[in-house]
Structure 1
Amino acid sequence: MLQALGLGPAEEAIYTALMARPTASARELAGQTAIEEGEAARILLDLATRGLVAVATEAGSETSESADCGAGFQPARYRLTPPSVAMAPFLVEQRNALHRAETAFSMLTEQYRSTAAHPAGSVVEVVVGAEQVAHRFHQLQRGAQRELLVFLVGVPIAVPREDADVSENSALDRGVDFRVVAARSYLDGEDVSRDVRAGILAGLELRLADSLPLKMVVSDRERAMVPLDMADSGGEPSAIVVHRSGLLTALVHLFEREWAQARPLYTTATGVREESAADQQPTEGELEVLALLLAGFSDRRAASQLGVSIRTVERRTRRLMDLAGADSRLQLGWHAARSGWL
């Protein structure tokens, strides 16, 4: 755990062992950790230099002096510096390093796009072959930080459904907003209903359409992947990856249009079912969220009050807005009052 803050395995062992004692000498810690006494003493001096431990005097006060300053010829004894004080600079440095890495990533991405050999190369990338298509698909799903928008059509070709499920679960675990529109025929596949139910229970939002114009995945509204006709690539699976452009914006608009017209799917004890006319009213759980939001609660505070996740609050709020035909929470409140929801 402490290796993430810059401590090596031996340093972590010494630090953790010292945590269980008011004070300890290098010899005592060496016996407890199976690290040689000389190495333990070196580690303690290094930790003291970094402000993580301090040399303890007989009176129990702390000093920044070296191990030779112990009372008489007694070996120096060490105590921990409060972690909340000692670890803070390391944590800040880790955060700063991550920020620098993210900035470098953004700069490299923009530089790549601006220096592509052909003007269209920065907008559309053609990927050919089952292995390459699967690789790019997983990159898009596993790289998503905020949102994934997906059209599901027909039988998977380049990416087996079980492999797609692994990427899907990884995205849901990260808290990615995951919305899917599936063609009705997609649910006819073997074991699909079971997998769909598991996905909905994990936080995926799924709606059903009679038909869809294409397969598609959009990652963070920055990249999209659309399969090509295999006849155009010698019978091999192929796809295009679309980067930020007017074309990508059009694909996002297409998704939102289909999403608005599609019917939600809900879990049942044995599978999933399509929303019916009776489902056009808010559920009890949705009304609880609505009451808290209208009372001025934030999503996070509402989630804490109800004992649910923030993602659940956001999902219930979105469905309320869909039922109300509202584009904002202000419009949602007005519709709720007019319709007698509360």
Structure 2
Amino acid sequence: MLEALGLASHEEAVYRALLSRPAATAQDLAGQTGIDRAAAERIVRDLVGRGLVAVATEAAAPGAGGGPEAGPAPARYRLTPPSVALAPVLVRQRNALSQAETAYAQVAEQYRGTAMHTAAGLVEVVVGVEQVAHRFHQLQHGAQRELLVFLVGAPVAVPREETDGSEGSALRRGVDFRVVAAREYLGSHDMVREVREAVRAGLDLRMAESLPLKMVVSDRERAMVPLDTTDSGGEPSAIVLHRSGLLTALVHLFEREWAIARPMFTAGGEVREEPEDGLRPTAEELEVLALLLAGVSDRRAAAQLGLSIRTVERRVRRLTELAGGASRLQLGYHAARAGWL
């Protein structure tokens, strides 16, 4: 954790050991951290040199506990108050980040000005599994405001499990993360639990009957669209688009599909529990409802949720009862009007 402030893992171990006591010798620190005594001595002296640690006692009085021939007591060390020692480090890093952001903005603007005169600067072809996956993660990790995603078919270059970390990172940064998934994508993967957790974490998900392509758009400035070359035996590849009329068209396409797509779970990213009056669906019933509205059959829903077909049918019956005896065709309308979705 303190690596961000310039401390390596072994230095952080010694630093935190000193946090728990007013003063300690190198031998004390070695015993507490499991680091070799000589290494602990080197580390703590280096921290002294950097102003993070101070020497509490260099030596004890001669003869203490052992007569005139006894040597000096080992040095004892204490932390310099973090508000004094670490604050300058934080200020330097903030200044460095500010300078880096300024340099990035200048370079990006200069590149954009040059690229506007060449088609190669607006459209970039990326070939190979590693390169496609690398650019995909760059787009997700680099997003500061918004991510727009179409999910279609089985992942080729970026396995589903490799996307979880970037999704979570974007959501923790407060990025507006909206996803439209094709029904066959959700129907062909056991995605229910993953989808539910992502929605609860803040992902906005909607389902469309079909989508024309896969894509990810980052901050409306960059987008990546896979090229379908694997059927002909070629390597996975994609095009990366920069700010242009084509990118604007992709954003419009996303917004159009988003507007007509069906929400998969309750508003606000949470599956709400049933109130005491029992007039709203439970979280488990809403899971069934989401799959039902996605066009998933009762049997398929039972398989995805790990339930028996009778349990699913019972939950559907209760949903129709809560909707005032509505048919399955009317259930979606009632759910939207009642605020279930």
Letter of the aligned partner of 1:2 in structure 2? L
Cα displacement (A) at 1:264: 0.9
Letter of the aligned partner of 1:276 in structure 2? G
Report if aligned partners of 2:116, 2:122 keep a CA contact under 8 Å in 1: no
- Output the CA distance in 2 between the equivalents of 1:226 and 1:246: 15
For 1:22-101, list aligned pairs within 5 A. 22-25=22-25, 29=29, 35-36=36-37, 40=41, 46-56=46-56, 67=58, 77-101=76-100
SS in 2 for 1:191: coil
The answer for the alignment partner of 2:2 in structure 1 is: 2
For 1:237-276, list aligned pairs within 5 A. 237-266=236-265, 269=284, 270-271=287-288, 272-273=290-291, 274=293, 276=332
Unmatched segments (≥5 aa) in structure 2:
63-71, 266-270, 272-282, 294-330
The answer for the alignment partner of 2:179 in structure 1 is: 180
Report if aligned partners of 1:114, 1:122 keep a CA contact under 8 Å in 2: no
- Output the CA distance in 1 between the equivalents of 2:9 and 2:192: 47
Report if aligned partners of 1:153, 1:186 keep a CA contact under 8 Å in 2: yes
For 1:282-321, list aligned pairs within 5 A. 283=339
Cα displacement (A) at 1:161: 3.8
Deviations 1:298-327 (A, max 9, x none): xxxxxxxxxxxxxxxxxxxxx9xxxxxxxx
Deviations 1:229-275 (A, max 9, x none): 53998755433211112322222122122212222111652553449
Structure 1 residues 119 and 74: CA distance shift in structure 2, 3 A: same
Letter of the aligned partner of 1:280 in structure 2? A
SS in 1 for 2:199: helix
The answer for the alignment partner of 2:335 in structure 1 is: 279
SS in 2 for 1:276: helix
Cα displacement (A) at 1:140: 2.0
**How large is the Cα RMSD of the aligned pairs?**
3.9
The answer for the alignment partner of 1:203 in structure 2 is: 202
Cα displacement (A) at 1:180: 1.0
Q: Which moved more, 1:84-93 or 1:263-272?
A: 263-272
Q: Percent identity?
A: 66
The answer for the alignment partner of 2:16 in structure 1 is: 16
- Output the CA distance in 1 between the equivalents of 2:335 and 2:102: 46
Structure 1 residues 180 and 30: CA distance shift in structure 2, 3 A: closer
Deviations 1:33-60 (A, max 9, x none): 65546973x6556544544334447xxx
Cα displacement (A) at 1:201: 3.3
Deviations 1:96-155 (A, max 9, x none): 233333334444444444455970112111234455434333332333333210122344
Cα displacement (A) at 1:76: 5.4
SS in 1 for 2:264: strand
Report if aligned partners of 1:150, 1:181 keep a CA contact under 8 Å in 2: yes
The answer for the alignment partner of 1:212 in structure 2 is: 211
- Output the CA distance in 2 between the equivalents of 1:20 and 1:165: 36
Deviations 1:71-92 (A, max 9, x none): 7776654433322232211122
Letter of the aligned partner of 1:279 in structure 2? A
- Output the CA distance in 1 between the equivalents of 2:129 and 2:198: 25
Report if aligned partners of 2:115, 2:122 keep a CA contact under 8 Å in 1: no
- Output the CA distance in 2 between the equivalents of 1:28 and 1:235: 61
Cα displacement (A) at 1:95: 2.4
For 1:94-113, list aligned pairs within 5 A. 94-113=93-112
Structure 1 residues 119 and 48: CA distance shift in structure 2, 3 A: same
SS in 2 for 1:4: helix
TM-score by length of 2: 0.63
TM-score by length of 1: 0.63
